[in-house]
């Protein structure tokens, strides 16, 4: 968190990125994975290209959910709420340069809103409406936090959002009559509609279980969120955010109100966190303070950095690490003959070591590192080509 | 357990079953499972020679101390049963996973247990907020959700809502009632302060206590788990003039409240609920402070508490002797603790339930067996279970005991009660003793 | 009145422990511009080393010295092996590395020492002083805690203000290139900064453990409050860390003692206090320079 150094680094990184890209935000700075390659079979228009990717991803998601077993379905459902929140956070941190250790608290806002609206006596509102309300309320909270946060930098922002992460769930304890206290609010997910059952029957003939339904709800929310975020990042708004991150002074001279744009970035990421919380409430079937500890906020931050800061694909991959690594390590420990308690204790150890090793050997995250490799290789080929041509 | 060793167990189990059948001539068929004489893979998680049972515990993180050792106790007892032929020839495969006391994790690991590991039933899932996250899932999947390890009323008060879920330990409200009545009768002039965990545990306990001594309560102070500074709360109890403090708190907060009271020179009569009063554990914690310099003041001498299970400080109790034998045979390290006894006792009840579910148990026959026969089972619990078609509440009574030296002495024999305004009655049943084999022998429930 | 005195005293003692932890964070910030989230786990690790010595029959004071020495070594090793590769890189990478270290060390303690509660002896008495018939919430041990924290602060201020090493450490942190040109062995200074911070962190771990319960995660809440205290005071200022810690300790104690069901509001109160202070002074109470862009 070296505040005096970071703008300089970022600037240097930007100038260098075309030739020798080192910067950790390499993942964010390349226009988009597809565009960077300049492949001609993709549409030129950003919107059309993103629509095409959206459709392909949707088809891919259906295939993935239908060929995998119910447990993997449930893991993918967990993956979606981490990824939605991480997607928003990566926009905030990767695009706009603000750190947040408090997005778990914003997820709690979305989760509790969902729990309250689904728990009403009588017929609850339709699910999409509840999701929109959850997004709206967490957006308002996010705006409040964002206004306060816009003035803060580096560790001070980290400290303030850290306090948010541990402070906000305290409200649920204090207002226990409404918010359920320590034991939380149970969430009963609405039954899947008949159209869903028919769809699954048509596609694969698998039984349309509750687990599968929740996984689909999560995937739909994830795809919509990522589609909107991808377009936003490529728009004028995204460019302005990057300017605010990399060239504070120049941006200000150009008449950009830094504070307002920082708040906007916070609001967008808070909206994502709210939706993620809503999906979490459905999938976990509970909104309780113990589900929104600091661990959650830190896990989100970890996901975006390990995946590749500023990249939506990176956020997705980082989230996958959160979901799949711990059970993998636990089961591996069991296979090596550890008793179940020791195997469980091993999981966080390996997780911690993976974080350290990844940051030392792949400081640009998964997506950033792969992209750097690929670009370096291309540059080398080009140089070699030129040399061969010249010789 | 590794894949290869699991295979080995399967082979061993098959051999054992074969030899048992040969030796007994099939006499261990106790008539269940529709009269068939051979073991079949009768339901998810049941094969001809294994039954897979799963659970979730906080094995890491802030809630791990204490609770993470409960499954080791259950493991020890299941190992003992398996070594002695298993349940109807089936070995129990005990699979437990870490949820770090976070409901999000609980939901993930229980998904894994049910959907991937395909357990037959869940036993002893620990914690109110954590288990709340999986109750609906287990009930919608029809997975027996037996003997939840928390005293919340959620698990048993409404079997129509959660037909597959069963409580096990005495609920906090019934405990509060027994404590309240005891104080009203024996300490009618005490000025009572309440030291409560700020969640359903403290709330239900307070509700029970106040049924009897509402007018005697001079102050109710609440702490939040995780906030270890209880100075302000204990100071407030002292300032309110309380001379008798009832604590509905977890063991760490027993030690903290004792320590803080020592700092403040506050010396009321203490009465800790069963959850917080593991005398061995808390005593050991307190005696270590200050390298024994304040050993006199740090012992819990004279503190009152309740009991619904035998405890390690009664080595003569036949149940404790059985569990000690089981623990020693398990090859696990360290002395046996009350957490281990808790896990072994739950495992004992589980074996009773599996036996009562018949030779070829199904999820339905298991739950029917608990509902129909559970109230008659004799086990380590001091009072019987309340299982019936209308209630899935667990053990329905407690005794009141006082800590004296390194052991406890009984102040009031077991009283039984239930939620709400149910009467408190002296328990007239006989004290149970374990079978000589150490393994229950329940007949299949009809 | 007696209640007020007691609530104030428990707040002060709690606050002095926040302050000690905040001091360690300030020290690392001043030497490497990194917020070390692993500070709590590292301190817990050295506390367990001390506990193992005490259990083997050694005296408290020997255990204390060994634990502090272990902290010194641990801090230096962590800086050289794990933090050095990410220093000067993107700020978030260092954050993730210290988070990873935090999780890994805590897990390692659980694997080696088990995750059970263990009581940690205090070097001095745990009974409150009595005046006539009233006992106040101040014990010989808490006096020891207060004095230890104050001495640590004085030593650190003296180190930075009056010694060449302290000056070199600050120079290394603020401008590595310039410091290097002036002949400062920057690498060594960074290692020294981490080592000293780990010693202070270990001390805070031992102080909070004394007369309390330890388990692998026992420092978790202190990370949050210690960090909040350091931010309150201004991350660059040792005096700010002390003031921030004491203010936070007092405020939280009053909330816990006087607001009905206030114990559950303690975390929220920390948030409110921090936000109010940061809105007025975005660099903390003792911010050295207020010149900030935007």
Q: What is the DSSP string of A355-381?
A: HHHHHHH-TTHHHHHHHHHHHHHHHHH
pLDDT at residue A9 above 70? no
**Phi, psi (rounded to 5 degrees) for B261:** -65, -35
pLDDT at residue A71 above 70? yes
> Do the domain assignments include residue C288?
no
Contact at CB, A285 and B134, closer than 8 angstroms:
yes
- pLDDT score for B134: 93
> Do the domain assignments include residue C286?
no
Q: How many CA atoms lie within 13 A of A195 on its CB side?
A: 1
Q: Any idea what the CATH number is for the domain that residue C66 is in?
A: 1.10.3470
pTM for this entry: 0.87
Instruction: Tell me if residue C126 falls in helix, strand or coil.
Output: coil
Fold classification of B3-170+314-382 is Rossmann fold (3.40.50)
> Do the domain assignments include residue C289?
no
- pLDDT score for A17: 34
Asked if residues A244 and A261 have their Cβ atoms less than 8 Å apart, the reply is yes
> Do the domain assignments include residue C12?
yes
- pLDDT score for A169: 87
> Do the domain assignments include residue C210?
yes
Confidence of residue A16 (pLDDT cuts 50, 70, 90): very low
Residue B200, min C-alpha distance to chain C (Å):
14
Element (H, E) at B50: strand B50-57
Of B77, B81, B79, B85, whose CA–CA distance to B15 is shortest? Answer: B85
Q: Say which residues have a Cβ less than 8 Å from residue B9's Cβ, sequence separation at least 6.
A: B1, B50, B91, B93
Alpha-helical runs (H) found in chain C:
2-32, 39-55, 60-77, 91-113, 140-162, 164-174, 176-181, 186-209, 220-233, 238-258, 266-280
Q: Say which residues have a Cβ less than 8 Å from residue B347's Cβ, sequence separation at least 6.
A: B73, B74, B77, B78, B81, B123
Highest mean pLDDT (candidates A272-281, A357-366, B432-441): A272-281
**Residues in chain A within 8 Å Cβ distance of B115:** 69-71, 73-74, 211
Contact at CB, B290 and C141, closer than 8 angstroms:
yes
- pLDDT score for B299: 62
Fold classification of B172-307 is Rossmann fold (3.40.50)
Mean of per-residue pLDDT scores for chain A: 83
Residues C113, C114, C115, C116, CA torsion sign: negative
Cβ contacts below 8 Å, chain A against chain C, sum to 182
With a pLDDT cut of 70, the percent of chain A lying above it is 88
The whole-number average pLDDT for the span A190-210 is 83
Residues spanned by CATH 3.40.50.2300 within chain B? 3-170+314-382, 172-307
**Spans of chain B, pLDDT less than 70:** 1-37, 279-280, 283-284, 287-299
**Phi, psi (rounded to 5 degrees) for B220:** -125, 115
Both structure tokens of B47: 């094969």
Least confident piece of the model among A288-297, A381-390, B150-159? A381-390
pLDDT at residue A81 above 90? yes
More confident residue, C90 or C216: C216
The whole-number average pLDDT for the span C235-260 is 90
C113: how many CB neighbours lie within 10 A of its CB? Answer: 18
Write out the residue range of the structural domain in which residue C232 sits.
2-280
The whole-number average pLDDT for the span A231-249 is 85
- Nearest by CB to residue A248, choosing from C104, C224, C294, is C294
Contact at CB, C100 and A151, closer than 8 angstroms:
no
> What are the residues facing B95 on neighbouring strands?
B54
| pLDDT tens profile B157-213 | 889 999 999 999 999 999 999 999 999 999 999 999 999 998 889 999 999 999 999
**Phi, psi (rounded to 5 degrees) for C281:** -130, 95
| pLDDT tens profile B374-421 | 899 999 999 999 999 999 999 999 999 988 877 788 899 989 898 888
Of C242, C236, C221, whose CA–CA distance to C22 is shortest? Answer: C242
Alpha carbon distance B179, B411 (integer Å):
12
Alpha carbon distance B329, B324 (integer Å):
8
| pLDDT tens profile C33-61 | 888 889 999 999 999 999 999 989 888 99
Both structure tokens of B268: 């009321």
Contact at CB, A285 and B3, closer than 8 angstroms:
no
For chain C, how many structural domains are there in total? 1
Of C202, C146, C185, whose CA–CA distance to C27 is shortest? Answer: C202
- pLDDT score for B36: 54
pLDDT at residue C291 above 70? no
- pLDDT score for B289: 60
The whole-number average pLDDT for the span C10-28 is 90
**Residues in chain A within 8 Å Cβ distance of B130:** 290
| pLDDT tens profile A34-43 | 444 445 566 7
Is this complex scored with an ipTM above 0.90?
no
Alpha carbon distance C199, C205 (integer Å):
10
Contact at CB, B115 and A74, closer than 8 angstroms:
yes
Contact at CB, B104 and A335, closer than 8 angstroms:
no
Mean of per-residue pLDDT scores for chain C: 87
With a pLDDT cut of 90, the percent of chain A lying above it is 30
Asked if residues B309 and B382 have their Cβ atoms less than 8 Å apart, the reply is yes
- pLDDT score for C115: 84
Best to test chain A binding among B65, B108, B223 (most A CBs inside 10 Å)? B108
Question: Residue B40: which region, alpha, beta or left (left: phi > 0; alpha: psi -120 to 50)?
Answer: beta
Subunits with 3+ C-beta pairs closer than 8 A to A: B, C
- pLDDT score for A35: 42
- pLDDT score for A267: 93
Confidence of residue C289 (pLDDT cuts 50, 70, 90): low
Asked if residues A182 and B129 have their Cβ atoms less than 8 Å apart, the reply is yes
| pLDDT tens profile C113-145 | 888 888 888 888 888 888 877 788 788 888 999
Got the DSSP string for B126-182? B-HHHHHHHHHHHHHHT--EE--BS--GGGTS-TTTSTTB---SPPHHHHHHHHHHH
Confidence of residue C288 (pLDDT cuts 50, 70, 90): low
């Amino acid at each position: 968190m070296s505040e005096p150094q970071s703008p300089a680094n970022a600037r240097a990184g930007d100038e260098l990125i075309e030739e020798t890209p080192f910067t950790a935000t390499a993942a964010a700075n390349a226009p988009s994975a597809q565009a960077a390659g300049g492949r001609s079979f993709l549409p030129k228009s950003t919107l059309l290209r993103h629509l095409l990717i959206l459709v392909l991803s949707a088809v891919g998601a259906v295939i993935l959910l239908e060929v995998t077993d119910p447990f993997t379905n449930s893991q993918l459902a967990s993956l979606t709420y981490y990824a939605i929140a991480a997607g928003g956070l990566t926009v905030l941190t990767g695009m706009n340069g603000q750190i947040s250790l408090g997005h778990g608290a914003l997820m709690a806002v979305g989760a509790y809103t969902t729990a309250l609206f689904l728990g009403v006596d009588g017929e609850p509102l339709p699910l999409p409406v509840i999701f929109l309300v959850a997004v709206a309320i967490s957006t308002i909270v996010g705006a409040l936090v964002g206004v306060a946060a816009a003035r803060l930098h580096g560790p001070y922002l980290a400290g303030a959002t850290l306090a948010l992460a541990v402070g906000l769930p305290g409200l649920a304890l204090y207002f226990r009559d409404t918010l359920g206290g320590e034991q939380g609010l149970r969430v009963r997910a609405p039954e899947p509609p008949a159209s869903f059952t028919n769809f699954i029957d048509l596609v694969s003939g698998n039984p349309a279980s509750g687990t599968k339904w929740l996984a689909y709800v999560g995937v739909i929310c994830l795809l919509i969120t990522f589609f909107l975020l991808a377009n936003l990042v490529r728009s004028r708004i995204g460019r302005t955010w990057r300017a605010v991150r990399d060239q504070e002074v120049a941006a200000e001279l150009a008449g950009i109100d830094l504070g307002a744009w920082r708040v906007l970035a916070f609001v967008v990421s808070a909206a994502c966190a709210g939706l993620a919380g809503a999906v979490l409430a459905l999938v976990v079937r509970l909104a309780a303070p113990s589900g929104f500890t600091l661990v959650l906020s830190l896990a989100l931050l970890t996901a975006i950095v390990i995946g590749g800061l500023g990249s939506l694909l990176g956020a997705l991959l980082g989230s996958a690490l959160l979901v799949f690594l711990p059970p993998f390590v636990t089961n591996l420990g069991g296979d090596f003959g550890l008793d179940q308690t020791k195997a469980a204790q091993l999981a966080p150890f390996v997780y911690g070591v993976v974080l350290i090793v990844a940051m030392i050997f792949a400081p640009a995250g998964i997506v950033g590192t792969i992209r750097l490799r690929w670009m370096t290789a291309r540059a080398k080929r080009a140089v070699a080509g030129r040399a061969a041509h010249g010789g | 357990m590794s894949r290869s060793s699991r295979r080995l167990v399967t082979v061993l189990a098959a051999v054992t079953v074969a030899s048992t059948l040969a030796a007994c001539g099939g006499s261990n068929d106790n008539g269940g499972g529709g009269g068939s004489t051979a073991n079949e893979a009768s339901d998810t998680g049941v094969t001809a020679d294994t039954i897979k049972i799963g659970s979730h515990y906080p094995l890491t993180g802030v809630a791990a101390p204490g609770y993470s050792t409960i499954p080791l106790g259950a493991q020890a007892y299941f190992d003992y049963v398996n070594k002695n032929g298993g349940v109807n020839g089936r070995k129990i495969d005990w699979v437990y996973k870490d949820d770090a006391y976070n409901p999000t994790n609980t939901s993930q690991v229980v998904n894994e247990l049910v959907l991937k590991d395909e357990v037959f039933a869940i036993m002893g899932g620990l914690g109110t907020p954590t288990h709340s996250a999986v109750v609906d899932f287990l009930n919608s999947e029809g997975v027996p959700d037996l003997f939840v390890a928390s005293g919340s009323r959620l698990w048993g008060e409404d079997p129509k809502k959660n037909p597959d879920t069963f409580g096990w330990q005495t609920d906090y409200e019934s405990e509060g009632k027994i404590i309240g009545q005891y104080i009203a009768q024996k300490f009618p002039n005490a000025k009572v302060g309440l030291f409560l965990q700020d969640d359903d545990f403290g709330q239900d306990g307070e509700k029970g206590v106040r049924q009897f001594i509402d007018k005697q309560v001079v102050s109710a102070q609440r702490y939040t788990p995780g906030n270890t500074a209880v100075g302000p709360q204990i100071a407030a109890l002292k300032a309110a003039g309380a001379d008798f403090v009832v604590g509905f708190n977890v063991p760490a907060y027993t030690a903290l409240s004792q320590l803080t009271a020592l700092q403040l020179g506050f010396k009321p009569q203490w009465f800790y609920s069963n959850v917080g009063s593991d005398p061995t554990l808390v005593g050991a914690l307190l005696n270590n402070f200050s390298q024994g310099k304040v050993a006199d003041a740090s012992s819990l001498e004279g503190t009152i508490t309740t009991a619904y299970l035998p405890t390690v400080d009664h080595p003569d109790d036949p149940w404790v002797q059985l569990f000690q034998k089981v623990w020693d045979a398990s090859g696990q390290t360290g002395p046996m603790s009350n957490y281990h006894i808790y896990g072994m006792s739950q495992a004992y009840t589980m074996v009773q339930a599996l036996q009562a579910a018949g030779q070829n148990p199904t999820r339905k026959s298991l739950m029917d067996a608990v509902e129909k026969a559970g109230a008659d089972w004799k086990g380590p619990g001091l009072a019987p279970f309340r299982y019936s078609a209308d209630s899935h509440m667990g053990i329905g009574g407690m005794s009141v005991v006082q800590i004296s030296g390194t052991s406890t002495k009984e102040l009031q024999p077991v009283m039984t009660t239930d939620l709400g305004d149910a009467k408190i009655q002296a328990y007239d049943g006989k004290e149970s003793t374990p079978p000589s084999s150490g393994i229950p022998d329940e007949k299949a429930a009809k | 009145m007696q209640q007020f005195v007691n609530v104030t005293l428990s707040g002060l003692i709690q606050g002095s422990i926040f302050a000690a932890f905040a001091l360690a964070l300030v020290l690392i910030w001043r030497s490497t511009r990194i917020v070390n989230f692993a500070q709590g786990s590292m301190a817990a690790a050295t506390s367990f080393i001390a506990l193992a010595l005490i259990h083997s029959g050694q005296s408290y004071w020997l255990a204390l010295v060994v634990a502090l020495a272990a902290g010194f070594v641990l801090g230096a090793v962590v800086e050289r092996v794990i933090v050095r590769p990410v220093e000067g890189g993107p700020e978030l990478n260092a954050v993730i590395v210290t988070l990873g270290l935090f999780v890994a060390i805590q897990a390692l303690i659980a694997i080696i020492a088990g995750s059970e509660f263990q009581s940690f002896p205090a070097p001095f008495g745990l009974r409150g002083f009595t005046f006539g018939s009233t006992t106040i919430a101040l014990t010989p041990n808490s006096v020891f805690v207060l004095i230890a924290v104050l001495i640590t602060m004085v030593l650190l201020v003296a180190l930075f203000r009056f010694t060449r090493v302290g000056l070199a450490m600050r120079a290394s942190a603020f401008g590595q290139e310039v410091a290097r040109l002036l002949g400062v062995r920057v690498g060594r200074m960074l290692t020294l900064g981490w080592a000293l911070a780990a010693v202070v962190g270990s001390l805070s771990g031992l102080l909070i453990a004394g007369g309390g319960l330890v388990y692998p995660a026992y420092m978790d809440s202190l990370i949050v409050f210690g960090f909040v205290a350091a931010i309150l005071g201004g991350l660059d200022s040792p005096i700010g860390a002390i003031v921030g810690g004491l203010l936070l300790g007092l405020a939280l104690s009053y909330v816990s003692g006087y607001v009905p069901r206030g114990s559950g509001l303690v975390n929220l109160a920390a948030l409110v206090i921090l936000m109010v202070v940061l809105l007025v002074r975005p660099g903390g109470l003792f911010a050295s320079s207020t010149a900030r862009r935007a």
